[in-house]
Structure 1
Amino acid sequence: MNRTLIALALGIITALGLTGCGVQQQAVTHDEIMSQLPDKTKASLERSNDPKEIDKEFRKRFEATQKIAHNIVQQDGDTITVKHQLGTTVMPKEHKRIVVIRAEDPMIALDEPFIAASYNDKSYLYKDLVARNVQHISINDETKSINYEQVQALKPDLIIMRDSYGQGAYDALSKIAPTITVNVNKEEVALLSIAYALGVPEKGEMRLKAYYDHAKQIRIALADRMNSETTAVLRILNKEIRLYSYLRSDMTSFMAELLNIKPADMVLESELNASNHAISLERLPDLDAGYLVVTAGYGSTSSNNSNIAMERLTNMEKDDLWKNLTAVKEKHVLLVDSSLWLAHGIIAKELAMDDLYNAWGK
């Protein structure tokens, strides 16, 4: 089968949703996968873990992040203007009563005060938020609905909102106080943008450099211990098994971009498919990863029952298809907290990096 037909077959299988329905998909060879990958992905597989090379790489990444953040946040004299996804906001001269809508991670990373946010005891930030006496506001994440009356009663002078809540939420909140939105999925840009908007650029840049230093140390340790073995990330859900891509997933791209962890061929194959990463149990033997990260369940704000996903994982672990995986036989399986790994923010990513280091970097 030539490469064009292979790509077409993969697309048809994916479009029909057959990868998660027990249908055996024909394995694609490493060379066939590599021939179809974008140049950016290929280049990401050839980076060095030499400390000096990492420094160069992260310096370029820092400068690129700075440039993006400066395009978002512009200063003219003492006036700071934020041009964000949902509008343009002139920052108030003082912001002592900030309400945060799902952008708590960068605010805590910057050690900037805020008076209210929405959170629960499943959050990895719960102890920090309680220690800071942050008041709780009601948000329904399933319907993206915010208790505006509660926000208004707090008399905020600035609101910082995750942009995924949309134009309606932004317009409503802007009637209460000046509101800026951030794309928290882009953790590094979100951190610097908020720092620039709040008038604390040095604090933001120092914190971002500390983030890169943290990643560098863990990257070197993992490279030394894992000996270029490949890795894959699986998420067990109530009705499907999901294999995460190498670069395109917000949940796992830090493993590729910052830690330079090498992906299994089946993970690279998923880079060719932009729509569906569900796989069947029958395809598990094709997952040749030397190391495996597994999460079962949903994020801290989801109403889905994670216990069902955990029960499914328990049953999978009894299956011979699972037991015969290389990573399982080598005891290189790391079970991680879905509420943390599905979160966005540099604190979340640092904690995820720590999970990898504690399992395989020591």
Structure 2
Amino acid sequence: MKRLLISGLLGACMLMGIAGCGPQENGMTHEAIYANLDDKVKTALERSNDPKDIDKEFKKRLTAIQKAADKIVTVEGDKIIVTHKLGTTVMPKEHKRIVVVRTEDPMIALDESFIGANFNEKSYLYNELSNRNVQNFSINDETKTINYEQIQALKPDLIIMRDSYGKAAYNALSKIAPTISVNVNKEEVALLTIAKALGVPEKGEARLKEYYSQAKKTRIALAEHMQGETVAFLRILNKEIRLYPYMKSDLNVFMAELLNIKPPDMVLETELNPTNNAISLERLPDLDAGYLIVSAGYGASSANNQGVADQRLANLKKDELWKNLPAVKADHVLQVDSTLWMAHGIIAKERAMKELYDTWGE
């Protein structure tokens, strides 16, 4: 009866979207949480870290990525056609002056040349972009306003944009040059889509295999070191503390899907209501993860005050609630750069994996 009551209340919360029904209020038992998880999450929790099993898993994953990219990019005679979220684009025969709008990560990962991008010194790819002599154009990130005049001045013959900038931006960019859009939140599909669109699918597939090789190495090392301990990812913002879900957040889903990192119950709770992942200080003692990843603040393009978030984390570290967390007591806390960890792209994820490996895998 208790389980049915909890399940019913949870369902009501999810249907009504009540903010107060987040993880800070539920305090559900392990049994109640597990009973309400969807089958995808349950299957993920039961995966093996045996090298042969990982190889089979990643081979199946690559096949799924290829199928997803094949739906987006098709070849008709001598034409390459990209059917994306914002429209349908026939690729130009030549593309020697490519401009990217927040798709520099997959382009650099593929080692494809491009002439223009928006970036600043906080970018995790700043050195690579500077060394390539990529021209910088401006974007107002608060309004997502792109400086089209600056892009036009670069005389691009192809533009590759992040699809979250929307239809109006796509229409404006398409007047300058043929434009395709990709969902960078799906890093692997985005990379292979771009590779296929540029006529180098084999390069994309080879690059993904490199990516999976690093993931396998990191996964095995972490499993051996952590010995079944759980991991949680906290993000400290100006006005709240967020506990990220296990598989329903694009920011850290790679830890679940590729690295098979196990979550504590409190993280699994957020799977049941991922729209509200803010937690209260009063609920913090329930976070019994053996390892903790913590970031403060925002990504490289954010206009929010990073200093406020940094100070909030500094104050939190002085709190007895924080000091008594199992991960803190065991010195198993990794503070990471939000600029990198909030980014989308396989280079960003590879660097995050390296950080995990260097800290807890050796």
Same fold (TM over 0.5): yes
Q: Which amino acid aligns with 2:184?
A: V
Judge which range, 26-35 or 239-248, deviates more: 26-35
Q: Which residue of 1 aligns with 2:156?
A: 156
Q: Which amino acid aligns with 2:286?
A: D
Contact 1:19/1:280 (<8 A) preserved: no
Measured after TM superposition, the shift of residue 310 of structure 1 is: 0.9
Q: Where do 5+ consecutive residues of structure 1 fail to align?
A: none
Contact 2:245/2:274 (<8 A) preserved: no
Q: Which residue of 1 aligns with 2:308?
A: 308
Contact 2:13/2:21 (<8 A) preserved: no
Contact 1:19/1:279 (<8 A) preserved: no
State the SS of the aligned residue for 1:271: helix
Matched residues in 1 for 2:322 and 2:159: separation?
47
Q: Which residue of 2 aligns with 1:54?
A: 54
Q: Where do 5+ consecutive residues of structure 2 fail to align?
A: none
Q: Which amino acid aligns with 1:200?
A: V
Matched, 1:237 2:237: yes
Matched residues in 1 for 2:8 and 2:331: separation?
36
> Which consecutive segments of 4 or more residues in structure 1 shift more than 6 A?
none
Matched, 1:290 2:283: no
Q: Which residue of 1 aligns with 2:88?
A: 88
State the SS of the aligned residue for 1:25: helix
Matched residues in 1 for 2:307 and 2:5: separation?
41
Matched residues in 2 for 1:96 and 1:197: separation?
14
Matched residues in 2 for 1:17 and 1:67: separation?
37
Q: Which residue of 2 aligns with 1:18?
A: 20
Q: Which amino acid aligns with 2:165?
A: Y
Matched, 1:128 2:105: no
Measured after TM superposition, the shift of residue 62 of structure 1 is: 0.2
State the SS of the aligned residue for 1:334: strand
Measured after TM superposition, the shift of residue 6 of structure 1 is: 1.8
The alignment of Structure 1 onto Structure 2 pairs a total of residues equal to: 360
Matched residues in 1 for 2:154 and 2:242: separation?
41
Measured after TM superposition, the shift of residue 140 of structure 1 is: 1.0
State the SS of the aligned residue for 1:99: strand
Equivalent positions of 1:35-184 (< 5 A) are 35-184=35-184
Q: Which residue of 1 aligns with 2:213?
A: 213
Q: Which amino acid aligns with 2:19?
A: G
Matched residues in 2 for 1:135 and 1:279: separation?
42
Contact 2:234/2:244 (<8 A) preserved: yes
Matched residues in 2 for 1:19 and 1:242: separation?
14
Equivalent positions of 1:248-287 (< 5 A) are 248-287=248-287
| Identical aligned residues as a percent | 69
- Structure 1, residues 7-45: CA drift from partner, whole Å, max 9, x if none? 44456499443378xx96352111111011001100000
Judge which range, 69-78 or 205-214, deviates more: 69-78
Q: Which amino acid aligns with 1:188?
A: E
Measured after TM superposition, the shift of residue 274 of structure 1 is: 3.0
Matched residues in 1 for 2:251 and 2:7: separation?
25
State the SS of the aligned residue for 2:89: strand
Matched residues in 1 for 2:209 and 2:140: separation?
34
Measured after TM superposition, the shift of residue 56 of structure 1 is: 0.1
Contact 2:7/2:32 (<8 A) preserved: no
